[in-house]
Structure 1
């Protein structure tokens, strides 16, 4: 493991690499941590077609989660497109009587595709309506008994206090911003560290290595392992900072998010290796890295939410690996499982394999 250990020493001695590994992540997390203290309230449009005591009570409850705008259904689409509202709810006519009579009904809802801003209100409504349906099931069709059950539920021993998951230290919007910065940092660190292959060629070390018993296959494997070790170390360091230093809310399954970033580490190593093996010198490698990393970061949502981009750019961004990791990590952060984002995982692994194969082929054919 001579190449592996030598690479690790070279990487940790380089001040620029230490800047990417330690200093920049802390700076980015401070920005994310301090930049969202005053989270803007959710803007929720409600269309009440039922106009019952229950629908009024439901609207009052929704007001505790954000700013409620009583609107017409015809205005919902334009309001969402123009970012005037984050989420829209339509309470259909006969809604509460259908629940009392045991029918499986639900609210009609609208939101911007892939937006997670309204996740807290959606989770609240799901839980609240599930409990309401349980009360209806024991009221046996009696409207009077149903409303008695609701009153007992809200004021009695089953009263639940709901708090926004997007406030203070547990703010998930801060976590999403920090994860975007981590993606950006991983891109630049890996493309920087893999430039050691170019330095080996420029110093003629690449040729001298093979005057020893070292084989090309071993050289490739040990380089890959050293780059991957640095990237994995960086991910663990990131998450340790987030968990113990900044106290970010990493959701209910933080290890799932950690696993996603381990997979993304494989991608960044593959990308960095591909750039290094297909560049003639450090200047060319730097230019290619900038042309790839900066657009990847911008289109993938590392600097700003993808929802604010024009539709054309959003469609283009769907083919960008940084979009896959940012969307997948955000979905898991807000409660989805790894199985739910499996398509993004497979895309990241697939493109990583392709880039690795092309890089290995180039290294093996390098004179």
Structure 2
């Protein structure tokens, strides 16, 4: 099965299944000499892990990471870093009733036709459980980028279902289960409670930024920074849309408005989302994703089984009524992996390039 490795210079190979004994990844290409411990990675995994509030799946996984290789006496050695996360709270019996049926909205039908076999337990290889190793790898990338360039990654939820969430402050994001940038989330709590009682689900919109970006990351043609960002985000379970900068709002803008004017003090706007011609400008990368409604719901739906016969499917088990709630740390990690890959490319090809004029500030 191909398609399990993301990146080339900073290559992350993901392995495991939702209900297997363990999941994990192997990171190949991390520069040597960086201080790294399991605690550096665990802090990000704790933000993503299930069971943290009543609004997400109650699967109680501690998501404790183990570093198996690539670190000696607390520092990376430049050799592959193997990270392991053991599964401890699988309930495979929840999926026995649908082992021969295709759940609407899931990858069951396409997966079965592609491989002729599938692991129905929790979605197997198609499960969002496999985003935990991505977050672990992202934590390694984030640490290197922070220490090397001062890059910081932040994300938040900007909409859940029909409810738009205004931006108040990044300071609010760690203080509620929605990663919402607002102080009062009581109306979001009520909305999710009503949704869960109705046996239904909803989608979400998540925004992620990278500040302190160096200028010059990305290529002008096939390996554009924004193209790789979109590629990474669309690789996340349930993502159906990606916007960079003004995104689809660019359609209604005039050229006189959309083009980000420059001054000696910095850029005057950031409709481009920090990327021009596929290359970073030094402004904040600004990315938004659209996450579809959770496909695993208890509302009965029409489908077929593996023999082609009509069936009614009810998906029981422990599921997020909105998978977007826990998406923020994953989206941050994916953006970090893309920036890490391009930072290493830039260092390899253009590391000795010197400009006579320093870059302008990211913003006025």
Q: TM-score range by the shorter chain?
A: under 0.3
**Structure with the largest fraction of helix:** 1
**Structure with the largest fraction of strand:** 2
Q: Which has the higher contact order (CA 8 A, sep 6+)?
A: 2
**TM-score for the superposition, normalised by structure 2:** 0.24
